[in-house]
Amino acid sequence: MFVQLLFTMLAIGSIYGSVALGFTMIWNAAAIVNFAQGEIVMVGALLGLTFVVILGWPFPIGALVAILGTALAGVVLDRLVVRPVRKAEFWATVVATLGASIFLQNLAMILWGPEPRAFPSFFGDKPVQIGDVRVIPQTVWIVVIVMALVLLQDVLFRRTLLGRVLRAVSWDREMASILGISPNVMIAITFSISSAMAAVAGILLAPIFLVSHDMGLAITLKAFAATIVGGFGSAKGAVAGGLLIGIVEFLGAFYISSDYRDVVVFASVILVLLIRPIGILPTAESK
């Protein structure tokens, strides 16, 4: 029983972590907090639902098309909403991305209807006995896939030319553009990568929760909390923060009260900030 719960907890935590990682990538590249990131997760889940459940395509193809479609949505979001306000004050970028969040939520409600929909699990949602322990395959797959993505992202950023260029942009946008790197193109690429990751998170999350147009904001807030707890701008911190938030949320629901689990989560975030005002694993640039 405990192992089963542990995996559910880690699964939710790794979803938060992967969305938080997307947040962090966008922050590092464009110095923007994208409050529509949760809606990108929702778009991924709904596109996955459309191709796999409604149109009945095979899961790998449907999921892949959904991920590509969501990446494209991320690029459009960058071009239409983020790029025009990139140099404005932090507050203006918050309202612009919140406006995008309202827009996407309501667009999804018009296109897919207001009722939440079920998404059958591809990996199986019935507990499986492995030796002495029972685990739900879906939760194990979530943890494995997200961690694989995190490692892949790390390799991409550290070992490839594209990754080096992206890091150069996040290091010093002006210097990078003097060296002939277009920040606009690099930021668009960052949006496509982080949106693709959000789509994976949405498709993986879908069988655990119902899929609906208003699922995004809650994810945005938890992922934002994860980046903050981890130390803003730190990729490792974002993933660690996500896992931590998932664990605290689950323990709060389990030991205190399911109704008050968000109070437990957010009180813990405030507590962490009281002790360490810049999060657990801050980068040099966190402020």
Q: By the criterion CB under 8 A, which residues form the site for other proteins? A: 33, 80-81, 84-85, 88-92, 94-96, 98-107, 109-110, 217, 221, 224-225, 228, 232, 259-260, 262-263, 266-267, 269-270, 273-274, 277-279, 287
CB of 36 to other proteins, least distance (A): 10
Name the region of 234 (left: φ>0; alpha: ψ -120 to 50; beta: rest). Answer: beta
Shorter beta-carbon distance to other proteins: residue 61 or 273: 273
Shorter beta-carbon distance to other proteins: residue 128 or 267: 267
Shorter beta-carbon distance to other proteins: residue 52 or 96: 96
Shorter beta-carbon distance to other proteins: residue 61 or 88: 88
Instruction: Please report, in angstroms and rounded to a whole number, the separation of the first and last CA atoms in the chain.
Output: 41
Sheet strands (E) in 72-132? 128-130
Do residues 251 and 44 lie in contact, with contact meaning Cβ atoms separated by under 8 Å? no
d(CA 128, CA 137): 7
CB of 18 to other proteins, least distance (A): 19
Angle at CA of residue 240, ends 238 and 244, nearest 5°: 115
CB of 274 to other proteins, least distance (A): 6
d(CA 228, CA 247): 16
d(CA 179, CA 168): 10
CB of 184 to other proteins, least distance (A): 16
Residue 130, strand partner residues: 133
CB of 13 to other proteins, least distance (A): 18
Shorter beta-carbon distance to other proteins: residue 54 or 88: 88
Shorter beta-carbon distance to other proteins: residue 191 or 224: 224
CB of 226 to other proteins, least distance (A): 10
Residue 133, strand partner residues: 130
